[in-house]
Chain A
Amino acid sequence: MTNAIEARALGKRYGRRWALADCTLTIPAGHVAGLVGPNGAGKTTLISLATGMLAPTTGTVEVLGGRPAAGPGQLARVGYVAQDTPTYAGLSVADHLRLGAHLNPRWDAAMARARIEQLGLDPKQKAGKLSGGQRAQLALTVALAKRPELLILDEPVASLDPLARREFLQSLLEAVVDQGLSVVLSSHLVADLERACDYLIVLIGSRVQIAGEVDHLLDTHHLLTGPRRDPARIPEDLQVISASHTDRQTTLTVRTEGPIHDPAWTVSKIGLEDLVLAYMSRTADAARRPALEVQR
């Protein structure tokens, strides 16, 4: 199966600043992949490069084996819901469906109408008068009814209330099962992605920190607590993501493929949110001068 997104040394620079740097990753198809990171980390840049809205400064990116937005054929294979789910405020819901029908050869009109009905949207209502959640569902309908192979969403639920957020994700996942979609979904809230995604990419400071299947990431990252240890005396095979020390205790977030043998450590599982936070603190530490231990 061709990969959903394949990037090699992909980078985008604006003047002096690299919005995305040296990004090499392979997002497999058939997954719901989550792209997570703080605001300004480069998520929208990566997505803009993948949807053909931007051209790369360095490197290449391939989407479903083709160049992004290379032509009508390639455009038809990828659905996109941009940040703030743009819709035409002056066009009605029904107009948006007609737009989709005219501009997409593989448009599934029956599915689109059924979805609108199921969502309870009034076809004659102008999109500008819909609530945020309804607009997001409309944008999602337009993207889904074009029958893409891959759906890319940029922070689709960021500005929605919890109920609208849940309904959107439910809708999305039903469509994933129905259409056999691959999805790439970005968010700065890990909780949103935790349930829905089975593949995760952590993007911090314009760079990919880690990427992989969620189950694998959770299996290979652990929280270790134990008596206070000198940073130099921590075994080599443990890749330390973040560490904090008090005068008595050391707490580490580590990444390791194998089991942990040292009995001095208490090993516990780590949740996705804490995993991302560990990588964020690692990036923050690297940006500062070598940090002294945090005395608590």
Chain B
Amino acid sequence: MIWLTWRQFRAQTVVAAGALALLAVALAVTGSQLVHLYDTTVATCQAHHDCQIAIGAFESEDTFLQDLIPVVMLVAPALIGIFWGAPLIAHELETGTQRLAWTQSVSRLRWLAVKLSLAGLVSMATAGLLSLMVTWWSSPFDRLGMNRLDPTIFSERGIVPVGYAAFAFALGVTAGMLIRRTVPAMAVTLAVFAAVVAGFALRVRFHLIPPLHLTAPLNMSWVTQTGSFGRPGHSALLVGISPNLPGAWVNSAQVTTAAGRTSLGPALPACGPNFTYSACTAAIARLHLRQVIVYQPGSRFWALQWYETAIYLALALALAGFCVWWVRRRVS
């Protein structure tokens, strides 16, 4: 059964290995150059007082790869699901070869278990290798940008791509098994995968660990917006802040009164039509406003990675279990 799985999966494995090898070469060559450049210019820039120039120059290196990698990381798990997962069972059902495969001397359970395990492991290994290479290559940029928790960047680093690949693969196999036609299964896999991943990143990820709350007097250097809203004569004060917490992922940043109310009172004339910076900031300072920031600190990067990967792996296992149960029903 192992031989048969390999033989049927051979072409896909070769293509993946080839693509990985190609990318590995490109990343290895440019990556080592980047490390060297970083160490010689950016790391020492403070001593040379040319940080802005050094950083600017560094960030304009290898922009093609900088743009390509997010696309690759975004697309790779989906491709795995579509091209490795969806056809696994659907192709057999479409061509009727299950009538040959299921009447040899191996049970359906063994047939599916071996296929799922081998192809699933290869999927996860591919995603893992890819992520390893990309995380290594991007580390200088990540050090500069300090934004690993940013939703798009987080999905492309560490171990979550392995979880995505496993989930996409299992999703593809399930879709193929239920829909019984390869092309529609591919479409459904893509749609569901994209929806789940996007929804999870936007809505669930932040709450995987109870976030931190920072409540403090308003930091004037973080104020980015002052003004008013509402009808003339009944306008209210509006103050907006953009917290500077390096590495953190801020979900909400609100300005409240000293008592904690979000409505800040009437608009300030000093921040109105005759706005001057000093008068406006002085007026705001007199209000003794506070800031309430809900965020995940950058130090939680790996914790969040593990939780998210575990959830996706659990989903993949659940789908795989469902497939095993379903395929043994005698309804073909």
Contact = CB atoms under 8 A, between A and B. Distances in A.
A258 interface: no
Nearest to A74: B105
A73 B107 CA distance: 10
A86 interface: yes
B107 A87 contact: no
Given A54-B330, A55-B329, A86-B95, A103 B102 contact: no
B10 to A, nearest CB: 10
Interface stretch (A77-85, A116-124, A165-173): A77-85
Interface stretch (B1-9, B40-48, B211-219, B240-248): B1-9
B251 interface: no
Nearest to A75: B105
Contact of A72 (B96, B100, B107): B107
Interface residues of B, number: 21
B331 interface: yes
A53 B331 CA distance: 7
Interface in A52-85: 52-55, 69, 71-73, 75-76, 78-80, 82, 84
A142 B100 contact: yes
Interface string B98-117: 01101111110000000000
Contacts of A82: 96, 99-100, 103
A79 B8 CA distance: 22
A89 B331 CA distance: 24
Contacts of A48: 332
B105 to A, nearest CB: 4
Interface stretch (A27-35, A91-99, A208-216): A91-99
B331 A104 contact: no
Contacts of B97: 86-88
A165 to B, nearest CB: 21
A55 B104 contact: no
A104 B100 contact: no
Contacts of A99: 3-4, 7, 104
A75 B96 contact: no
A51 B102 CA distance: 9
A139 interface: yes
Contacts of A87: 97, 100
Contacts of A78: 103
Contact of B99 (A53, A73, A98): A53
A88 B98 CA distance: 10
A42 interface: no
B96 A86 contact: yes
A102 interface: yes
Interface in A8-61: 48, 51-55
A146 interface: yes
**Most B Cβ at <10 Å: residue of A55, A80, A84, A103:** A103
A54 B100 contact: no
Interface string B3-35: 110011000000000000000000000000000
Contacts of A69: 102-103, 107
A84 B106 CA distance: 22
A163 to B, nearest CB: 25
A52 B8 CA distance: 24
Given A72-B105, A86-B96, A146-B105, A103 B4 contact: yes
Interface in A228-249: none
Contact of A86 (B8, B100, B330, B332): B100
Given A54-B330, A54-B332, A105 B105 contact: yes
Contacts of B1: 102-103
A86 B100 CA distance: 6
B103 A75 contact: yes
Contact of B331 (A55, A75, A100, A102): A55
B332 A53 contact: yes
A78 B99 CA distance: 13
Given A87-B97, A99-B3, 18 more contacts: A53-B103, A55-B330, A69-B102, A72-B106, A72-B107, A75-B103, A75-B106, A75-B107, A86-B97, A98-B3, A98-B7, A99-B4, A102-B2, A102-B4, A103-B105, A104-B105, A139-B100, A146-B104
14 contacts: A52-B330, A53-B99, A54-B331, A55-B331, A72-B105, A75-B104, A75-B107, A79-B103, A80-B99, A88-B8, A88-B97, A90-B8, A99-B104, A102-B1
Closest 10 CB pairs of A and B: A55-B330, A82-B99, A103-B104, A76-B105, A80-B103, A104-B105, A86-B96, A75-B105, A102-B3, A86-B100
Interface of B: 1-4, 7-8, 95-97, 99-100, 102-107, 329-332
